[in-house]
Structure 1
């Protein structure tokens, strides 16, 4: 027999209310995360294009911005290139499984490394900050700390739970593992066994001194990359084609 006493009815109602409140809290948290940017590693932020507002950038001390968009988004996602306070790298990337995003990894790494070397912070954003820009940050962390794509994804999701690269981008992140390791071997003259980064995952949270903020260089556009970046880009693209058997 079902117990229909008033006391049990009240207890059931309280339990239902508690579950509802928990779900509402998690949903509100996900919405908040999705609409704001998060600091993935010290000095490197990931988020949607709404986080690239000038006031938000200034409040967080961000001088470098990587803006990821495609042509149809150009009227909405507009980098503040005319403002000399910021250094911009604007990349034309579509969020689809056939997009060759791997060719942008070396250029993004150089831009982020330049920002950090100048004791500046950098925001990487796309429209929502979950696929295209997230893939670029994942590739940077992989190469910087010697992580696999799955290790990088697991870590980044602890900072921004909404990160979800499309299937094609995930495949290219996996393909990038031997590419960045091969480049490190060529650059350092190491064996493949020695090439494994000595930096541990715990170092992803190491501190960075932002007290000496320097004026960033003139903005960088997708059409005016430096020669050194082009060499890396061609090298990565060549290895990418070899791995895919094309």
Structure 2
């Protein structure tokens, strides 16, 4: 469920907690980016005790296919997993994979769960998904969404290709929102069809 906020609330959310002093060690841990949505590296997914203490119920495991032997679901009896096999390269299409990941996260959170999204390092690949999620969830532009995530996990740095897709996704989700804002009968194509149908009826009456 996406959220509508006023400018002051958006500013506050983007800034994040101001009292956190980032240390190098924290890049090996996960951080809560949105309520009930955590982001981190592989390291954060390897301790059952830690995951349970954080209240995690669902895990999105994003990995390069070559990493499948190490980046994998470790506790399938305890958590519900979604595994995305991707290439950690600038050419990888993330936009195509994102809707399924968003649906998984939305369903988990709406059901009262907590989701960890992780890749190997938690620096480029998984943060790109979380930036797109934050962007659509709060109706943000791509820069604000990136800052929101960076202000909670300081070490993230999506590669150039992923950053281009994050920018591209802003126009995609905003276009979808614009279409969804029109009641079906008010959409331009439907109005035109209705007018054509009415003209056909007039024509039939004329020759009846």
TM range (shorter): 0.7 to 0.9
Q: Following the alignment from structure 2 to structure 1, what is the Cα–Cα distance between the partners of residues 174 and 82?
A: 25
Partner of 2:90: 97
Tell me the alpha carbon deviations over residues 35-77 of structure 1, each in whole angstroms, 9 at most, x when there is no partner: 0000011100000011112222111110100000012101111
Partner of 2:42: 49
**Is there any run of 5+ residues in structure 1 with no aligned partner, and where?**
1-27, 191-246
1:173 aligns with 2:177: no
1:121 to 98, 114, 127: 114
Partner of 1:75: 69
1:137-176 to structure 2, matched below 5 A, reads: 137-176=130-169
Runs of 4+ residues deviating >3 angstroms: none
Is contact 1:157-1:163 (8 Å) kept? yes
Structure 2 residue matching 1:155: 3-state secondary structure: helix
* Aligned residue-pair number: 162
Partner of 2:125: 132
Structure 2 residue matching 1:180: 3-state secondary structure: helix
Is contact 2:22-2:154 (8 Å) kept? no
Deviation, 1:141, is 0.5
Tell me the alpha carbon deviations over residues 64-101 of structure 1, each in whole angstroms, 9 at most, x when there is no partner: 00000012101111213641x31111001222111111
**Is there any run of 5+ residues in structure 2 with no aligned partner, and where?**
1-20, 184-208
CA 1:30/1:95 → structure 2, altered by over 3 Å: closer, same or farther? Answer: farther
Deviation, 1:120, is 0.9
1:3-14 to structure 2, matched below 5 A, reads: none
Using the TM superposition, name which of 71-80 and 43-52 deviates more: 71-80
- TM-score by structure 2 length? 0.74
1:192-207 to structure 2, matched below 5 A, reads: none
Partner of 1:212: none
Deviation, 1:29, is 4.4
1:35 aligns with 2:32: no
CA 1:145/1:29 → structure 2, altered by over 3 Å: closer, same or farther? Answer: closer
- TM-score by structure 1 length? 0.63
Tell me the alpha carbon deviations over residues 192-220 of structure 1, each in whole angstroms, 9 at most, x when there is no partner: xxxxxxxxxxxxxxxxxxxxxxxxxxxxx
Structure 1 residue matching 2:109: 3-state secondary structure: helix
1:65 aligns with 2:59: yes
